[in-house]
Structures are given as C-alpha cells and as structure tokens.
Amino acid sequence: MSAEALTAIKLGIVSCEACGLLTKPADVKHPGHCPRCGEELALRKHNSIQRTWALIIAAAICYIPANLLPVMVTTTLMSAEEDTIMGGVVLLYMTGSWPLALIVLIASVVIPLAKLVALAYLLITVRRRSAWRRHDRVRLHRLVEFVGRWSMLDVFVDTFTVALIQLEPLMSVKPGMGVMFFAAVVVLTMIAAETFDPRLIWDSGNDREGQDD
Amino acid sequence: MTLLPEDLVACPDCDLLQRIPVLPPGGSVRCCRCGRVLATSKADSLERTLALAVAAAIVFIVANVAPMMGMSAVGHQASTTIVGGAREMWVQGQQITAVLVVFCTVVAPAVLIGFLLVVLIAVRRPPAPAWAGTLLRLVEFHQPWAMLEVMMLGILVSLIKIAELATVIPGIGMFAAGALVVLIPAMAVSFDPEEAWRRIEWAGGGAPPAGTRGATSPTGVQP
C-alpha cells in the first residue's frame, strides 16, 4: 500500500488494547495506563515475536507426545485397548461415519499443525521485514485466531466418552496422558495467536521504529 | 497525556489512523488498508444485548443443572452433566484436562454472560462506575475461551462412538446447551462495546462528558 500511510505509531499515538481509546502520551516509551479503562498501554504488544516463538516451540514439543501417547484406554472383560488420536479417527472411519472422521482429523491433526506452520511463517516474514502480500498475511492471522478453538474438539470427545462409559466391570474407558499434551498444544497455540501482534506485519520497511517490543 | 477526537480510530490489526464516518443504521466500515471491520452501527445495541443476556443466563443455569444425556446398556444406567463429565476426568487422573474443560465450558461462559449482564444493567444509567469497565475487560478476555459450540460437536462425536454400545438419550441440558450455542454468538453480534465504554466512568478519575473530548485534541491528522 501507500508508503505515506499514517499510522498511530508514527504520530506517537497509542491505542488501548482493551477499549480502543487513542491517547498521545507525553513519553511514548512509558505510556502508562489507559485513562478510560485502566489497562496498561503499549505501542505494540511486549516482546511479541520472542513470546510467540516460545509458545509455538513449546506447542510443537507437546505435539509429539500428544500424537504418540494414547488419549483413551478402553478396558473390557477380555482386553485393554489404547487409542491415540489417529487411532480414534481410524476407528470412526471404520465404523462408517467418515464425515465425522474427517471433522476429527481436521480439528485434531490438521489444524494444530497448520497453526504452528502459519504462526512460524508470520514470525519469519515479520523478522525479515517482508512487504510481501501483507494483506493475505493479516488474513492468515485472523484465520488462525478464528479456527484455533475448534482443536479442543478431541478433548471434549474424550471427556464425554469417559464420563458415559463407566460400566464396571464390563467395560470402562479411562483417559490417557495424550489428552493432557493435546490440550496443552491447543492452549499454547491459542495464546500464541493472541500474543502475535498483527500490526508488526505493517510496521516493516520505511518505519523501523516499533519492530520489537 | 493528550486525548484525540472521538471519531478517530487506529486499526487494531494494522495501526492505520482513520476517521469513522457517521454510519447509517446497520452499516459498518472496514479498514481501508487491511479490511478489518472497525465499527458497526447497531440499533438498540445495549437493550437487545441485555434481553439476550437475561435469556442466556436462565438457559445457562438449566444447561448446567439438568443432565446432558443419559445412557443405558446391559442394565446399567448413567447420566452426566457438563461438570459431571469433567469430574470423571478428574477422578480418572487427568486433573489438568478436567480443569481446562470446566474453564472452557462453565467458567468462561459464566463470566461472559454474568459480567456482561452486570455491565449492561450498570450502563443503563450513565455514567456507570469504573468497576463496570473492569468487568467489561474481563468479559473480553474470556470471550475466546468460551467453547460451548465446540463442546456440542464433541458430544455429538462421542455419542456416535457410544451409540454402538448403548442407547443414548439426550437430556434437557443438551437442549439448553444447544440454545446457548445460538444465544452467546447473538449476544456478541448485538453488543457494541464502544457504546458501553462511552457510558462508563473513566478509570483515571471522572467521566468526561460526551462531545467535549474533541476540543482538547490538537491534532492535524487527516483521514
């Protein structure tokens, strides 16, 4: 877009994260608190890039046990069977409900992975001060924020399956450690999407101030 | 600290400064650079949201008290509420997951509905005290974490998994939760936070009367 686009940061104006009020603090480095709602003011989210990296790296680490460890352990009179997330998808597919298998596959496997890749891509392009397709990148960030919550699907599926199937001693379902790691992936990526400041996408190029912090 | 004219906004996604024109009823404006919706004119925003919040509060209580679903198989009967599901997770050794499930399906929606209800009642007679602003900030913080619609889909999937083994009977709680899936987004759509903020006393002391803020703003910003 136009190089002379007038942004708040260029004029030393701070917009409140919580209520949107614009103020022009005397000292831009220490803007203090919003006079309207009391939220701490900042030109950009503090250390947005470093914090988002930390969160997605933590999420990527948790993603491995989330997929390898069982999320559900089904015990019957004869046997005990462990199901991972992919195992649950396959089971749904085998029992004939392929639309649901597809929903669970997208929500539990594709979305978390796509979020990690998308956030890493946004962070790298911001770091390189890329001006390439800013409009699409800000849309990508909105999409990541919007779809993130749907990954919690598998956690709810496991919770209600466990809650209902307690037919001791015939059959019972216990949650496995995989659920906790999987929930951690979802929560960490949701916080990461929230921590990333989309305004950094537009800050690059001729106005170098406000890149970090 | 200098204030700026009320019709001036900085886009939350790209920081571009823009003036918001007077909108026709139902009209909305997008950021001219990144396309984010900056303002929407919502008719009777606060009254409509209040009506929806009252309805949501009643339905929310039903959804949490009445059983979500019952199940019978080989002579066994079982039924569960939302909290009951999480409690079973806790008992089975997944305490962290149980807390998260309760937070996303009970705590966050409760904060969303309850605090918004209080804020809406408080702003009926402006200026509302500054604590209403604190509550409104909490409402906005909890919004992404209220996941009743995800929970409903999760229940559907688990029901289909169970249906092979047992007969499942949806309970009143299930219908109430279904109604909340509609009511909570309806609340979010009809609510105009800017209108509420204008009616709340400022945290920094005193409520600047509407319309005087522009006079204190020496700025040469062009839209």
B219 or A85: which carries more pLDDT confidence? A85
CA distances from A47 to A53, A94, A200, A210, A213 (A): 10, 47, 11, 10, 4
Q: Is the pLDDT of residue A6 over 90?
A: no
**Cβ contacts of A47 within 8 Å, gap of 6 or more:** A212, A213
Structure tokens at A185: 């992936």
A207 — pLDDT class (breaks 50, 70, 90): very low
| CA separation for the pair A191, B211 (Å, rounded) | 37
B218 or A174: which carries more pLDDT confidence? A174
The domain segmentation of chain B, as residue ranges, is 1-41, 44-203
Q: Are strands B8-10 and B2-3 parallel, antiparallel or unpaired?
A: unpaired
**pLDDT for position A69:** 93
Structure tokens at B167: 């007969």
| CA separation for the pair A99, A102 (Å, rounded) | 5
Of the candidates B60, B37, B161, the residue with the CA atom closest to the CA atom of residue B109: B60
Identity of residue A174: K
**pLDDT for position B162:** 81
* Pick among 1.10.20, 3.30.1490, 1.20.120, 1.20.140: CATH of B44-203: 1.20.140
Domains in chain A and their CATH numbers? Answer: 1-43 (no CATH), 45-203 (1.20.140)
Beta bridge partners of B29: B39
A5 — pLDDT class (breaks 50, 70, 90): confident
| CA separation for the pair B35, B48 (Å, rounded) | 27
Is the distance from CB of B191 to CB of B49 less than 8 angstroms?
Answer: yes
**pLDDT for position A4:** 62
- pTM of the predicted model, to two decimals? 0.86
A154 or A2: which carries more pLDDT confidence? A154
Which of the residues A164, A170, A197, A209 would you substitute to probe the B interface, choosing the one with the greatest number of B C-beta atoms within 10 Å?
Answer: A164
Identity of residue B87: R
CB contacts under 8 A, B 41-100 vs A, are 68-69, 71, 73-74, 76, 78, 80, 84-89, 92-94, 96-98, 100
Percent above pLDDT 90 for chain A: 37
Of the candidates A168, A166, A56, the residue with the CA atom closest to the CA atom of residue A117: A56
Judged by a CB distance cut-off of 8 A, whether residue A123 touches chain B is no
Beta bridge partners of B168: B71
Instruction: ipTM value, please give it.
Output: 0.84
Q: Could you report the average pLDDT of every consecutive run of 10 residues in chain B (223 residues)? A: 78 88 86 87 89 96 89 75 89 91 94 94 86 90 92 88 80 92 93 88 64 38 39
Q: How many CB atoms lie within 10 A of CB A114?
A: 16
Judged by a CB distance cut-off of 8 A, whether residue B24 touches chain A is no
CA distance, residue A145 to nearest chain B CA (Å)? 9
Per-residue pLDDT of A58-82, as tens digits, reads 999 999 999 999 998 888 888 888 8
CA distance, residue B188 to nearest chain A CA (Å)? 14
